[in-house]
Structure 1
C-alpha cells in the first residue's frame, strides 16, 4: 500500500539528485500532489541551472519536401508519392529561406521533410553541404533517426556510413524527430510503417558514438497510457546512460562546439488533432502535460535541459512549466509547417517570449544549439529591439500559402 510518506520520500530523493525507478516515476506521475511534484522538479532545475536563467533560441524549420512513404496516422503534413499536392523545394528556395533566417538573427536551421522514395544519402550530402557553404554560421540541427534509416536504405549503405557521410557534409546535430511514442503498442498504432522505438534509439546511439549529439522528444496525447509515457522516458534514459558510460558527461551550459554527447535536452509536446487520421479523438490535458514535465525533470538525472513546448500547449502552460523544472522555452520559429498543419496555432514574438520568462521570475537568455549563452537579458535594458523576430502560423496552413509561395517575413501581425 502506497502512503504519502512513500511519495514524499521519492520526491525528496529525486530532488536531491538520486535516481528514481520507472515504477516510482509512475507513482509520482499518477499520485503525487501537484505542488509538491512541481517543487521537487524545480529544485532539480535550480541544481542544474543555479543562475535562474531560462533560454530561448531563434531558428527556422525549413521543409524540403512533403512527399513521404511512411503515412503516419497523426501527420497532417505529408503527401504520398505522386499525390497532386506533393512538392519538393530546390536548393535556391532553401537557401533563400536560410538567408531570411540569418537576417533575423537565427543561429540554427532545422531541415526536415518526408521520407521521399528517391532521397538517399547523396541528396542529404548535397543539401547539408549546400547550406553550410552558403551560411557557415548556421548550425544544422536536422532530420532524425527515421530519415537516417530511410536514406541508408535508399542508398544501400549501413547506418554508420550514412551518419558519417552526412556529418562530413555539415550536419551538426540530430533532432528528436520521429520519436513520437517509443513503446511498441502506441507506436504501431500511430505509425505502423515506421521503425521500432528500440531501433530509433539504436540509431541515436550510433550517432552519439560518432560525436553527434541530439535532442530527445515525446508526443503525448494519442491514447497512450500513463505507464507507456513513463516507459518512453525509461527507454531514453537507458540510452543516455550509454552515452555517459562512453565519457560524455551532460553539463548545464557548454561552450559552443564542446561535445556534450548523447541527449542534451528532452522536449515533450502534445498531439495536435486537425487534418489527420486520428482527428480529435485523443489529446493530453494541460495538467497531464505539466505533471509529465515535472516527472521528466526528476527522472532524467543524466539530461541537462528540459524544454517546454508552448507551440503546442499554449503560452500560459509554457510559462507554468517554468515552475515545474523547465529551463528552456525553445524557439521563436520563423517557420514551422508540420505541427502547424495539424492545428497548432500558438504564436509569439521575441519580446513576448522574453516577457514570459521574466514575469516567471527567471532571467531570459538567447542560446545557441548547445545551450551556450549568446546574450543574457538581465534587465529590460538588455532586451533585443528587432520587432521583426516573430513566430508564425504554417505557411501551408495560411490562405494562399504553401509550396512555391513567397511570403515575406514576418508572416503574422504581432499586434
Structure 2
C-alpha cells in the first residue's frame, strides 16, 4: 500500500466513517500480523515520586515541591512492589515520576543499580523523555551522556510518555515548563542510537486540532524511518476529571476511528496498542478489530489515569479471556515484543 500523506489522512478522517476506517485498519493489521495473535504484557506502573515542577494542566496526579502529599518512594517500598510484581507473573516495571528538583542524576543511577542488583531478572522500562531532558538540564550533561549513564546503570527501554501532542503550540498551552517537541524527539533518537527500544504515545482530545494530531504522527513516522527504534504506538484519550482543562471527553467512537487512522498512517511502527485502561474492556476489544494488535498491560498498579477518576484494572486471566472473546490468541510478551513461552 502506498504511504499515506498528511493530506490524504485528513481527507480519510473527514470523509470516511468509523466502520470504513476500522475495516481498512484491520486489514492492514492482518497483513502486518497474519498470525491471529494479540500480545500483552504483565507489568506494574511504579511512580517513584509524584513531586513535579512541570504543573501540566492535564495532570491530576502531581504535587508541587513542598506539598504535604508529595512523596518519594523508599528503596524498600520499591523492592516490595517489584517482589509482588514478580509473584504475579510480571517481568517488567514501568518506572515513571515527576520532574522532582530534589532528585539528581546520581539518585536515578543508584535507584536503577539497586533494582538490578536485587532483581536482575526484571526489565526496567523507565523515565519518559521529559524526565530525561530535565535530568540533562539539571546535571549540565548532554542528553547523550544522561541516556548512556542510565543505560549503564540498568535502564532497559524508555516509555513514550510526555508526548501528549508533538506540536509546540499545544505543548505551550498545556505544559509550558516541559520539554518541547524537538527535545522529546531528541531524547528518543538518542535512545534509539544507543540501542534502547522505546514506545511512542499520544494523548488526544483536549486543545489540539486534527491537523496537529497528524503532524504528531508524521514526526514519529519520520524518526522511525531514521532509527527503527519504536516498538509500538499507544494513543489514548485525555481524561479531564480533576484537571485544569474543561473539555468534554472524546467519545469511544472517536477513539476507535482515530486509532484506525493511526494504524493506516504509521506504516513503519509494527505494533499499535489498545487503551483499555482509559476506554474499558469492551472498547478495548473493539480496538482489536480497528487496527490494534496489542492489549497493553494488565496494570498491576496504575496511579496517573486513576487520579483523573478513571480506574480499570484487570487480572491476567480476564485479559486473556477478553482477547479470546475478540477472536484472537492471547500471547504474553516482553517490551521488545518477543514472546514469553
- Give the shorter-chain TM-score range: over 0.9
Q: CA deviation at 1:219?
A: 0.3
Q: Do structure 1's residue 364 and structure 2's residue 330 form an aligned pair?
A: yes
Q: CA deviation at 1:152?
A: 1.5
Distance in 1, matches of 2:14 and 2:324, equals 31
Q: CA deviation at 1:314?
A: 1.3
Distance in 2, matches of 1:89 and 1:35, equals 46
CA contact (8 A) 2:133 2:183 kept: no
Distance in 2, matches of 1:348 and 1:105, equals 14
Q: 1:188 is matched with which residue: 163, 168, 172? A: 172
Q: 2:256 is matched with which residue: 263, 281, 290? A: 290
- The equivalent of 1:393 in structure 2 is none
Mapping for residues 279-318 of structure 1, pairs under 5 Å: 280-318=246-284
Distance in 2, matches of 1:345 and 1:96, equals 22
- The equivalent of 1:61 in structure 2 is 45
CA contact (8 A) 2:233 2:272 kept: yes
- The equivalent of 1:146 in structure 2 is 130
CA contact (8 A) 2:197 2:336 kept: no
- The equivalent of 1:89 in structure 2 is 73
Q: 1:38 is matched with which residue: 13, 18, 22? A: 22
Q: Which has the larger displacement, 331-340 or 345-354?
A: 345-354
Q: CA deviation at 1:30?
A: 2.1
Distance in 1, matches of 2:49 and 2:171, equals 24
CA contact (8 A) 1:119 1:154 kept: no
Q: Which has the larger displacement, 33-42 or 101-110?
A: 33-42
Distance in 1, matches of 2:18 and 2:130, equals 36
- The equivalent of 1:133 in structure 2 is 117
Q: Secondary structure at the match of 2:102?
A: coil
Q: Which has the larger displacement, 219-228 or 59-68?
A: 219-228
- The equivalent of 2:230 in structure 1 is 263
1:364-405 Cα offsets, whole Å, 9 max, x none, are 111111111114xxxxxxxxxxxxxxxxxxxxxxxxxxxxxx
Q: 1:343 is matched with which residue: 309, 312, 317? A: 309
- The equivalent of 2:243 in structure 1 is 276
1:237-260 Cα offsets, whole Å, 9 max, x none, are 11111114xxxxxxxxxxxxxxxx
Distance in 1, matches of 2:21 and 2:51, equals 43
Distance in 1, matches of 2:299 and 2:196, equals 23
Distance in 2, matches of 1:24 and 1:343, equals 36
Distance in 2, matches of 1:275 and 1:348, equals 23
Q: Secondary structure at the match of 2:117?
A: helix
Q: Do structure 1's residue 329 and structure 2's residue 313 form an aligned pair?
A: no
Q: 1:218 is matched with which residue: 202, 205, 228? A: 202
Q: Secondary structure at the match of 1:374?
A: coil
Distance in 2, matches of 1:349 and 1:97, equals 16
Q: 1:203 is matched with which residue: 183, 187, 204? A: 187
TM-score normalised over the length of structure 1:
0.80
Which structure 1 residue ranges, 5 or more long, are not aligned? 1-15, 245-261, 376-415
Q: Secondary structure at the match of 2:67?
A: coil
Higher gyration radius (CA): 1
Distance in 1, matches of 2:20 and 2:255, equals 16
Distance in 2, matches of 1:32 and 1:324, equals 14
- The equivalent of 1:320 in structure 2 is 286
Q: 1:158 is matched with which residue: 142, 146, 157? A: 142
Q: After the TM superposition, list the runs of 4 or more consecutive aligned residues in structure 1 that deviate by more than 6 angstroms.
A: none
Distance in 2, matches of 1:275 and 1:33, equals 32
Q: Secondary structure at the match of 2:289?
A: coil
The structure whose residues are more often helix, as a share, is: 2
Q: Which has the larger displacement, 345-354 or 90-99?
A: 345-354
Distance in 2, matches of 1:30 and 1:93, equals 49
Distance in 2, matches of 1:223 and 1:352, equals 35
Q: 1:29 is matched with which residue: 3, 9, 13? A: 13
- Give the RMSD, CA atoms, in angstroms: 1.1
1:11-31 Cα offsets, whole Å, 9 max, x none, are xxxxx3x21101111111222
Aligned residues: 341
